[in-house]
Amino acid sequence: MTPASTTVPGAFTAARTTERLEALLAGLREDVGRGLPPDLTAHLVGERLAPHLGAPDLLTDEQRQSDPTRYRQHLLHAEHDGSFSVVALVWLPGQATDIHDHVSWCTTGVHQGQERERRYRLLPAADGTARLVATAEVVNEQGEFCGFAPPGDIHRVWNPGPSTAISLHIYGADISRLGSSVRRVYQLPTDC
């Protein structure tokens, strides 16, 4: 699949890759190809990603571009067999996602700045309604990664810092075909 860059899910345009990204992709093929459970795959992918985080030659200047209206998604690679995708997200201060979950396992690593994440658990009520309860709040600094797999992957992510943040997200799905890694957006009452 052709590497791409975009601000609109599903509308991808070609972008060039770097030698460092190509080396990372070769390692990811090996890790994903092992056929391990999703949570273990997410962790192994994070260990593979970590040495590349913060490296100045990982992304092109184009792949570092932000959008003043919302965080920007740059699709860096979608594997031809649909087994994984690599996306760079560029966040200006205060930009955030909605509360959401994912279509597959995911690994996130902070390349520049920091990312704050609030994780939630969905609690059904006896009357058939539901609400979200915050279970953790994590600040990931440059070089740190986390991985998770559905179910239990409901969260919201934002840039709490005073400068641009960039994170790499690796998904166990073909984001170029799906248009997004998001399965559902939650608009339920929360405890915070």
pLDDT of residue 81: 95
Residue 153, SS3 per DSSP: coil
> Considering all CA atoms of the chain, what is the largest pairwise distance in Å, rounded to the nearest integer?
55
Q: Which of 144, 77, 67 has the alpha carbon at shortest distance from 113?
A: 144
CA angle, residues 81, 83, 88, in degrees to nearest 5: 110
Q: What is the pLDDT of residues 5-55, one digit of tens each?
A: 333 333 344 456 899 999 999 999 999 999 999 999 999 999 999 999 999
Class in CATH terms, 4-185: mainly beta
Please tell me the distance from the alpha carbon of residue 6 to that of residue 129, in angstroms, as a whole number. 36
Q: Would you kindly state where each structural domain of the chain is located, as residue ranges?
A: 4-185
98-142, pLDDT tens digit by residue? 999 888 999 999 999 999 999 999 888 788 888 888 999 999 999
